[in-house]
Chain A
Amino acid sequence: MAETVIDGKVSLSAPEILTTADGQPLKKALEIALRREKIRAVLLIAPLLAFVIFSFIIPIGYMLFRSVDNSIVGRILPNTVIEVVKWDPDVSPLPEEPVFKAMVSDLRVAVADKTHTRIGSLLNYANPGMSSLFRKSGREIRKITDDGSYKEQLIASDEGWADPETWRTIRRMAPRYTDSYFLNAVDRERRAEGITLKPENEQIYITLFVRTIVLSAAITLSCILLGYPIAYLLANLPARSSNLLIILVLLPFWTSLLVRTSAWKAILQQEGVINDLLVFSGLIDEAGRLVMINNVTGTIIAMTHILLPFMILPLYSVMKTISPSFVRAAKSMGASDWTTFWKIYFPNTIPGIGAGSILVFILAIGYYITPELVGGTQGVFISNRIAYHISYSLNWGLAAALGAILLALVLALYWAYDKVVGIDNVKLG
């Protein structure tokens, strides 16, 4: 490119345009070729992309959306949500006649559609007692006439309607979107004076989040400690014996998860194999039998065992690729065994440790069957609560909020890992 300096300014002369043999500008020809390439690539992955979008991204997005969605309140109580927001709880403890009128007319429609109990069970998550209030009012609604005060009649049908907290709950849940599930998921709630911590005897989720992260890290660490020597052995033994060892590593992998977890119960319990052996050998006495199950120890042991193959296999495949000549070279230059390992061999295995750790950590964070069975009270994870809210309490909004937070935590840790170690540094083989 030619540069000319005129009056102190730099001006660039137009570059020569390169053309292809048929006279087309090269840039354009390249673009066309590249576009064709891109379309072909997209078409090739299109089936998988469509599959992932329809069977994974949309359902998960839909489920996570529930953590803020509150439209059902407005759908079942359309008139009430309009009226109740006009009421200021600071001015009068109870709303006025128009709100009660709106509630009665909404309830009449809801009872005919049999949706009044659904709204009751939803509001019950925020305020215990709403479920039976709506169920009972559904039965009594026929008795409420259009002459006379709706307020008096509704309160006469159930005292719950005279409780200001009932109306505050409805008012709080009236908007289309709510943050109540997310607040609940971090042990907080919205009160008249603003967002506050829940009473101490209801705080649970923060504890569980912290415990999940700490225990998952502990499980990952023990997987590294146990898996590393095995992977080394596998990578350095002759093929015949290493194949046998690989099968031994994979064998528990093919056994049912529940069978393995139950086996750990039989082994670790106080009347179990290990304690029996220790008592028999005289190391501990009958009264001093160790408690190794239904607590944190049980969770770490059982989960480490279950997740170990996910650590060993990436480590093994990375170690397989490390040329033995590296080690020989280091030794020939006078390095001690330890220096050879620490300066030469170990750094080469870090991509394997990274891959294994990510796999084990992310799997551990989402586990719930094993902690439920062997974790007792101190070894259960946040996933156990998510499972509870999905399957038993049906509070899917809260389950979605907890799931979203867990997902955000995993992504944040992944990002941190990328910053510290570098995600390019992860190798599965």
Chain B
Amino acid sequence: MKLKSILLSTAAASLMLGSATVMVSAADGPEACEGCANEMTIVSWGGAYSASQKAAYDDPYAAATGVKIINDESSAEAVAKLRAMNEAKNVTWDVVDVVASDALRLCDEGLAEPIDGKTELAAAPDGTDADADFGVLRVNECFVPQIVYSTTFGYRTDKVGATPPTTVCDVFDLAKYPGKRALQKRPIDNMEWALYCDGVDKAEIYKVLGTDEGVARAFAKLDTIKSEVVWWTAGAETPQLLADGEVVMGSTFNGRLFSAIVEQKQPIAMLWDMQSFDLDGWIIPTGLPPERLARAKNYLKFATDTQRLADQAKYISYGPARKSSAPLVGKHATLGIEMAPHMPTDPANAGNIHTYDYGWWADNRDDLDAKFQAWLAK
């Protein structure tokens, strides 16, 4: 619940736009970096997301420092590749964009460098140190959060009749909304939604899921729609399935739905109820030579400061992870629309959210995944 209240206060702050015209000072560039490497490899997810990072972070950083930035789009396999690089003692990446659960794993495995939030990251304009500014979103000492995104549902407006779905439980209601649904091929989120719609109190979900009966109960709920589910693995699948009319509703990352709705003008609408918040951010791999480590830290300090995080939101509908960035979020860079209402953290969208428990999943992911796969194969 703590995470929720912080996220909501972030969003509330964004509503007070008028009062919070934070001046961007002249010291608005990367710090000088003595004896740092002149080239760095930044790893991210590719597509519109990498483009938003390039515009908000890389281009200004390269312009100010003259560093040559090489982009790699390997974030999806980052954990395995980092482990292999570490074992081969040849780490070729300098800064890597990963989701919070992967960051937890990398930090546990000793593959990510701890970063001191007080000295190695930029303070907020009002002097609040970075750790306090990120709050609980900094899930561990290796992870510097960047954006809040959510996994949520979109539905075809022309295929749901006169009464569009309003709660996540409508996904489980085949009588009211017949047709196929797209769900992610993993237990995370799906198990929680199933229990929630089976009547489990939101605060009790992980307690129930921790028992064998709870797992059986979640599967029993999912069984009721299993025949109508299309399972996706790549975030781009659901918008495509919705656009083709293959499914009437489906879960995916909110930014994907944003571009399908706003940029491609598809007959799709968002169902924000019980959206599942998740985080994406940076880690620095361990085992870098000192000059490259210094460069990576210098970049990170710049790229995760208040203004830079707010800038990224001009290009993509993911909420900045710093509290102090929220008031600076403005309009979309090319479409010119206000971005705030499209953020998962906007109060109108975040009325009823699901906060995914990293620690719990770090313990139970492998076990539940085996059960989930066995259930799928049945």
Q: How large is the interface on B (under 10, 10 to 19, 20 to 34, 35 or more residues)?
A: 35 or more
Chain A contacts for B370, CB-based, 8 A: 202, 204
Chain B contacts for A203, CB-based, 8 A: 374
Query: Which 5 residue pairs are nearest across A and B when measured between Cβ atoms?
Result: A117-B108, A128-B367, A377-B376, A204-B374, A391-B80
Chain A stretch 95-150: residues in CB contact (< 8 A) with chain B: 114-115, 117-118, 120-121, 124-125, 128-132, 135
Q: Which residue of A lies closest to B229 (CB)?
A: A377
Chain A contacts for B80, CB-based, 8 A: 390-392, 394
Assembled-state Cα–Cα distance A379/B244 (Å): 22
Contact A118 B108 (CB under 8 A): yes
User: What total count of A-B pairs have CB within 8 Å?
Assistant: 89
Contact A118 B110 (CB under 8 A): yes
Known contacts A121-B109, A128-B366: A294-B231 contact under CB 8 Å: yes
Chain B contacts for A117, CB-based, 8 A: 107-110
Contact among B83, B219, B230, B377 with A204 in the assembled complex (CB-CB below 8 Å): B377
Contact B246 A132 (CB under 8 A): no
A213 to chain B, nearest CB (A): 15
Chain A stretch 245-283: residues in CB contact (< 8 A) with chain B: 266, 269-272
Chain B contacts for A204, CB-based, 8 A: 370, 373-374, 377
Known contacts A125-B366, A376-B231, A377-B231: A131-B108 contact under CB 8 Å: yes
B119 at the interface (CB under 8 A from A): no
A112 to chain B, nearest CB (A): 12
Chain B contacts for A200, CB-based, 8 A: 374
Q: How large is the interface on A (under 10, 10 to 19, 20 to 34, 35 or more residues)?
A: 35 or more
- Point out which of B216, B219, B373, B376 has the most chain A C-beta atoms below 10 A from its C-beta: B373
Assembled-state Cα–Cα distance A385/B377 (Å): 12
Chain B stretch 339-378: residues in CB contact (< 8 A) with chain A: 359, 362-367, 369-371, 373-377
Assembled-state Cα–Cα distance A130/B359 (Å): 12
Contact A120 B108 (CB under 8 A): yes
Contact among A115, A118, A131 with B362 in the assembled complex (CB-CB below 8 Å): A131
A179 at the interface (CB under 8 A from B): no
Assembled-state Cα–Cα distance A204/B366 (Å): 13
Q: Which residue of A lies closest to B230 (CB)?
A: A294
Chain B contacts for A377, CB-based, 8 A: 231, 376-377
Known contacts A202-B371, A204-B373: A376-B105 contact under CB 8 Å: no
Contact B109 A118 (CB under 8 A): yes
B224 at the interface (CB under 8 A from A): no
Chain A residues packing against B (C-beta within 8 Å): 114-115, 117-118, 120-121, 124-125, 128-132, 135, 200-204, 207-208, 211, 266, 269-272, 294, 372-373, 376-378, 380, 385, 388, 390-395
- Extra contacts, 7 of them, besides A201-B374, A378-B377 (Cβ < 8 A), are A118-B110, A201-B215, A201-B216, A202-B371, A270-B180, A392-B79, A393-B366
Assembled-state Cα–Cα distance A121/B365 (Å): 11
A62 to chain B, nearest CB (A): 10
Assembled-state Cα–Cα distance A377/B190 (Å): 15
Chain B contacts for A271, CB-based, 8 A: 244-246
Assembled-state Cα–Cα distance A386/B51 (Å): 32
Chain A contacts for B105, CB-based, 8 A: 121, 394
A211 to chain B, nearest CB (A): 8
Chain A contacts for B376, CB-based, 8 A: 377
B233 at the interface (CB under 8 A from A): yes
Assembled-state Cα–Cα distance A117/B286 (Å): 15
A380 to chain B, nearest CB (A): 8
Contact B375 A201 (CB under 8 A): yes
Enumerate 9 A-B pairs (CB-CB under 8 Å) in ascending A order.
A115-B110, A120-B108, A121-B108, A132-B363, A201-B374, A294-B230, A377-B231, A391-B79, A394-B109
Known contacts A118-B108, A121-B108, A204-B373: A270-B246 contact under CB 8 Å: yes
B77 at the interface (CB under 8 A from A): yes
Assembled-state Cα–Cα distance A372/B77 (Å): 16
Contact A129 B233 (CB under 8 A): no
Contact among B76, B108, B364, B371 with A135 in the assembled complex (CB-CB below 8 Å): B108
Assembled-state Cα–Cα distance A203/B375 (Å): 9
Assembled-state Cα–Cα distance A204/B370 (Å): 7
Assembled-state Cα–Cα distance A266/B245 (Å): 12
Assembled-state Cα–Cα distance A377/B80 (Å): 24
Contact among B83, B219, B364, B377 with A207 in the assembled complex (CB-CB below 8 Å): B377
Interface 1/0s, chain B 61-98, versus A by CB < 8 A?
00000000000000011011001000000000000000
Chain A contacts for B231, CB-based, 8 A: 294, 376-377
Contact among B246, B364, B366, B371 with A269 in the assembled complex (CB-CB below 8 Å): B246
Q: Which residue of A lies closest to B375 (CB)?
A: A201
Chain A contacts for B107, CB-based, 8 A: 117
Assembled-state Cα–Cα distance A377/B363 (Å): 25
B108 to chain A, nearest CB (A): 4
Chain B stretch 173-232: residues in CB contact (< 8 A) with chain A: 180, 215-216, 219, 230-231
Chain A contacts for B373, CB-based, 8 A: 204, 385
Contact A376 B230 (CB under 8 A): yes
Chain A contacts for B215, CB-based, 8 A: 201
B75 to chain A, nearest CB (A): 11
B288 to chain A, nearest CB (A): 16
Assembled-state Cα–Cα distance A303/B339 (Å): 43
Q: Which residue of B lies closest to A208 (CB)?
A: B377
Assembled-state Cα–Cα distance A266/B243 (Å): 12
Contact A395 B366 (CB under 8 A): yes
B280 to chain A, nearest CB (A): 16
Assembled-state Cα–Cα distance A388/B362 (Å): 16
- Point out which of A129, A131, A203, A385 has the most chain B C-beta atoms below 10 A from its C-beta: A131
Assembled-state Cα–Cα distance A202/B369 (Å): 9
B255 to chain A, nearest CB (A): 21
Assembled-state Cα–Cα distance A137/B230 (Å): 41
Assembled-state Cα–Cα distance A72/B99 (Å): 27
Assembled-state Cα–Cα distance A216/B333 (Å): 50
Assembled-state Cα–Cα distance A393/B231 (Å): 19
Assembled-state Cα–Cα distance A200/B212 (Å): 12
Contact among B110, B180, B362 with A132 in the assembled complex (CB-CB below 8 Å): B362
B272 to chain A, nearest CB (A): 26
